[in-house]
Amino acid sequence: MTIASASSSSPKELLRPRGPDLRGRTLLDRFRLDALLAFGGMADIYEALDLRLRRRVAIKALHPEHGRAPDQRRRFFQEAVLGAQIDHPHVVPIFDHGEERSLGGEPVLFLVLPLLQGVTLRQRLLEPAMPIADALRLMIQLLDGLAELHKLGAVHRDLKPENCLIVQRQGRDHLILLDLGLAKIHTGPLLSLAPSSAPGAMIGTLAYVSPEQAREQPITPAADVYAVGVILFELLTRRVPFPGTTALEVLSAHASEQAPSVTERAPDRGISDDLEALVARALHKGSSPAPRERRSVPPGTPGHGGAGSRLRRRL
């Protein structure tokens, strides 16, 4: 789910929401929804004007069927509380939230977010291969944002290129982590707001789920580190480590198979041995995710303009 108002492949007027069409509506007599920016399986994103503060914002409107059950509503309000508490340049903030009725009378829960212009990391992956140093810098930014999330006792659980927006700040790529809707609080003061997942329910996107998620084991910040490892693997090789042909095959691979070598998958990329080891550590699996939770810095650096050593310090 993106909240970008630029770089869309389709003109705004040709987009159609998957939920109720709220274009032209004013929510809570304050937020005038002018255009649809993007849509997803759970929510639609609109460009809007805050009539009170006279600023452009993005509105994330949850589809009514995803806001009926008490657990769904708790998850939504958790996202609002979590996003409001985070103040970090690499995590999207949440300005406000509210509830309105659709024309059909159903409740529409919504979040108010900054209006950002950029492209998702998925869109960037469709372009020619990214230089390794650039890929490492983006992963450093992603890990910095996640560290702030983890400080609050939360785990994102749905990291993927679609949830990473790249905007331009002072002429350089700046990554912003989006969509805290599946984040789970595992410790700290927000515990009472944590949604409970149904037994056997899979949270996350299959290509990026951690071994713990695949095995239905307790989730810790190490699950997010694993997903970062998958994203970095994809940036380096243009492929995820476990593509699979069925959901069961992908889950089984995440649960038990060792990740392939990035050097073997991309022999012409000039990937250093240290960077190879760094990716392998992020994708470690075994009886415990402990190697992904270590913060010690081994001797040596992965090179690549110093970005590798900075990434090592964050993994």
Residue type, 167: V
* Alpha-carbon span 26 to 153, nearest angstrom: 35
- Compute φ and ψ for 119, nearest 5 degrees: -130, 155
Contact at 8 Å (CB) between 152 and 188?
A: yes
116's tokens: 């950002």
Catalytically annotated residue among 50, 87, 96, 158: 158
Per-residue confidence band for 130, with pLDDT thresholds at 50, 70 and 90: very high
* Alpha-carbon span 133 to 145, nearest angstrom: 19
Per-residue pLDDT of 241-250, as tens digits, reads 999 889 999 9
The predicted model gives 286-302 an average pLDDT of 49
Per-residue confidence band for 17, with pLDDT thresholds at 50, 70 and 90: confident
Q: Which superfamily is assigned to 12-114 in CATH?
A: Phosphorylase Kinase; domain 1 (3.30.200.20)
* Of residues 287 and 9, more confidently modeled: 287
Residue type, 285: K
* pLDDT confidence of residue 254: 95
State percent of the chain over pLDDT 70.
78
Tally of residues, the chain: 315
For residue 225, how many C-alpha atoms fall within 13 Å in the half-sphere facing its CB?
27
What's the whole-model pTM score?
0.82
The predicted model gives 121-132 an average pLDDT of 94
Domain residue extents for the chain: 12-114, 119-314
Q: Is 144 a catalytic residue?
A: no
Helix axes 307-314, 273-282, angle to 10 degrees: 30
Per-residue pLDDT of 210-226, as tens digits, reads 999 899 888 889 999 99
Residue 196 predicted with pLDDT over 60: no
* pLDDT confidence of residue 298: 35
Nearest to 232 by CA among 140, 168, 150, 118: 140
Averaged confidence pLDDT in the chain: 82
Contact at 8 Å (CB) between 85 and 151?
A: no
The predicted model gives 176-203 an average pLDDT of 50
Q: Which of 12-16, 143-147, 291-295 has the highest mean pLDDT?
A: 143-147
The dihedral formed by the CA atoms of 199, 180, 144 and 279, expressed in degrees to the nearest 10: 40
Contact at 8 Å (CB) between 158 and 207?
A: no
The dihedral formed by the CA atoms of 175, 210, 78 and 92, expressed in degrees to the nearest 10: 0
Residue 187 predicted with pLDDT over 90: no
* Alpha-carbon span 99 to 258, nearest angstrom: 45
The dihedral formed by the CA atoms of 118, 122, 127 and 128, expressed in degrees to the nearest 10: 120
The predicted model gives 115-141 an average pLDDT of 94
Per-residue pLDDT of 262-272, as tens digits, reads 999 999 999 99
* Alpha-carbon span 280 to 306, nearest angstrom: 19
Contact at 8 Å (CB) between 63 and 88?
A: no
* pLDDT confidence of residue 188: 41
* Of residues 181 and 301, more confidently modeled: 181
Contact at 8 Å (CB) between 3 and 113?
A: yes
CATH class of 119-314: mainly alpha
